[in-house]
Structure 1
């Protein structure tokens, strides 16, 4: 369950946030939401996939962290094994809310029931004794802003991908050395052949709009599938 509230120094001055890494703090997830503006940071270590919402039919991007629910192969106890942690995980327990309509002013919300909320006096303060934002919270606000801005801009990115027919369904059967199998379905990836066949004008348009770089970053990220499978093999004792 979640318990969202608009963050304020008056109501939440004494709250602290635990910034460690662990499954009990919410890091045990198979995938997490990401945005095109983040692809460059992700592509060296994570697989970037796309998924279409069954109800809205809109696309979103995700960073793949494992092959089954609750599995994060970049987490080893309390150690984060990658050099970067996706923004969607980093900003918890904070989130962006908007008053009334989607284009209203952004507000910082906090999930008061999130496991990162410290109930024992440990963790990092959000506000100082004078109600001013702590350095930790100032950094979090910048990250929230980047994630929110990237999310709001991503609809144009996905509309462009669909206009040029650059997304194709993706399924993968992962067979581990112990004989276990994991089937990944319901995802999309960039159609590399279709991208290569685009005329110069279309490529120039993609480049001018800033969409070409994240497209190539998403393609490059697929090389990390082999590394992720090897991580899974090591986890089950067949590394």
Structure 2
């Protein structure tokens, strides 16, 4: 459960935030939203695919951290063992929220029920005089950067969709504990046929936008599926 409220010096003057590599809060989220700028880095560990919002029909890139709904194979313990992680993992317990739906102004919020919130440990959010601490300023800037990258990602995904570069795909995997293959649907990818049929004009356009390397990283990341299969087999074996 969360209890997200606006962060104020009056109410939270004695609040500290602990830095932690425990991401157990994501234990039931097998796909994690990411931003375009981190795809090349994350592709060395996680399969990166796109999913489509059923209501808005907007696409977003996600890192696959599990093969089954409700099981994040990387966050089952308190120890994060992968060499990299999504940028969004560092946001909690802080977040940004619009101060008014009709305005672009945002305010910093905090999840008061987060395990990262403490009155005795961690970094203070405010100084004795009630000003933002250097730590809070750094965290606020990181949140603003993430918001900008998220907006950039939305624009790029819309561009990819308009260029018909994202195609529905079904992944088929075989697990030791399953008699039949598992089919994973609802994902979109830039496939081989699409790449091979790119016009020279679009190819140059993608290169100039810096998207060609992102697309190749996304496609190469699918080779991380065997890593997830091995993790799922180990998880299933330990659950018996």
Q: Shift of residue 134 of structure 1?
A: 4.5
Instruction: Please report the TM-score for the alignment, with normalisation by the length of structure 2.
Output: 0.86
CA deviations 1:47-70 (Å, max 9, x no partner) are 111111111111111111112344
- Aligned-partner Cα distance in 1 for 2:134–2:147: 20
User: Could you say what secondary structure the match of 2:5 adopts?
Assistant: strand
- Aligned-partner Cα distance in 2 for 1:73–1:216: 25
CA deviations 1:89-141 (Å, max 9, x no partner) are 221121121232466123222222334333x6334433344445445434433
The corresponding residue for 2:144 is 145
The corresponding residue for 2:161 is 162
Q: Which runs of 4+ in 1 moved over 4 A?
A: 132-136
Instruction: Please report the TM-score for the alignment, with normalisation by the length of structure 1.
Output: 0.86
8 Å CA contact 1:32, 1:89 repeated in 2? no
Specify every segment of 5 or more residues in structure 1 that has no aligned partner in the other structure, as ranges.
Answer: none
Q: Shift of residue 18 of structure 1?
A: 3.5
- Aligned-partner Cα distance in 2 for 1:135–1:173: 48
The 1:102–1:19 alpha-carbon spacing in structure 2 relative to 1, beyond 3 Å, is farther
**C-alpha root-mean-square deviation of aligned residues, in Å?**
2.4
Q: Shift of residue 86 of structure 1?
A: 0.9
The 1:20–1:215 alpha-carbon spacing in structure 2 relative to 1, beyond 3 Å, is same
**Following superposition of structure 1 onto structure 2, how do residues 215-230 of structure 1 map, counting pairs within 5 Å?**
215-230=215-230
Matched, 1:187 2:190: no
The 1:139–1:229 alpha-carbon spacing in structure 2 relative to 1, beyond 3 Å, is farther
The corresponding residue for 2:89 is 89
The corresponding residue for 1:232 is 232
- Aligned-partner Cα distance in 2 for 1:88–1:41: 14
Q: How many residues align?
A: 236
